[in-house]
Homo-oligomer: A and B are copies of this chain.
Amino acid sequence: MLSIHTMTTKPWSLEQACAKYAKAGIQGITVWRQHLAPYGAAKGRELLKANGLTCTALCRGGFFPAIDQTGRDKAIEDNRVAIRDAHDLGAPMVVLVCGAIPGLPLSEARKMVEDGIRAVEPEARAAGVKLAIEPLHPMYAADRSCITTLGESRRLCERINSPAVGIALDVFHVWWDPELESEIAKCGKWTCGFHLCDWRAPLRDMLNDRSVMGDGCIPVRRLRELVRQAGFQGWDEVEIFSDELWAGDQDVLVTRIQKAYAQHCV
């Protein structure tokens, strides 16, 4: 079933997004913290409920690496807040963009990520909220995520081995991986989130030039099939960052996403 990330329709407030998604017949919503902030988790939960929407995730926690202990403690505290907000909002998971600091060796950053997840895992478990590790495309390894592949995410899950830790698989980040098919199978029991968009070539901006499914070169339907064959039964979350699409009519965008979902994904 289709869910949309509020970041996909970035110009809309949470209130607008809830009303518009519901009116379009969409049943799921993944809430970004910047959209939740003006309302707070309790009011956010009411908004979703009033519009009959299921909360599919809260985005995003993570960003564990920092240059000093103060920074790392602050990151852990922020993840605790995210877990509480997810619980209060009714989100089943917090998606983790793990973090990286330019110049900090990746091996150290990776250790900080594992330490950070371990530090907040008890709270997540107690709150019934999953921590969904999202491997990010390697082009973000310097400054956004030292965790770049499904394989690395899976090994992290295996080491921590908690029912409160899983993987959010975004086709944009992993589609290039030569190990993709075998890793999707191996990640079966860990995959708890699935994000859809497409990769246009050439990409005009490393961050905000994602496209609607079918407008790029990712075999989205095939990847969705593989993820489901591996046991995933959750939502299909559409997460598109695009300066071009944000500048356009967001109602038109939602309709386009629904058509693309029907035509290219399911």
Residues of A within 8 A of B (CB): 102-103, 105-106, 110, 137-139, 141-143, 147-149, 151-152, 175-179, 199, 201-203, 206, 216-217, 219
Count the copies.
2
Identify A142's interface contact among B110, B152, B199, B206, CB under 8 A.
B199
Closest chain B CB from A191 CB (angstroms): 18
Q: Chain B: which residue is nearest A110 at the CB level?
A: B178
Q: Determine whether the beta carbon of B139 is less than 8 Å from that of A203.
A: yes
Q: Determine whether the beta carbon of A103 is less than 8 Å from that of B217.
A: yes
Identify A178's interface contact among B142, B151, B203, CB under 8 A.
B151
Residues of B within 8 A of A151 (CB): 178-179
Q: Determine whether the beta carbon of A102 is less than 8 Å from that of B217.
A: yes
Report the bound CA distance from A138 to B137 in whole Å.
8
Identify A143's interface contact among B138, B143, B202, CB under 8 A.
B202
Known: A142-B217, A143-B201. 4 other contacts (CB 8 A): A138-B139, A138-B176, A148-B177, A203-B206
Q: Determine whether the beta carbon of A152 is less than 8 Å from that of B137.
A: no
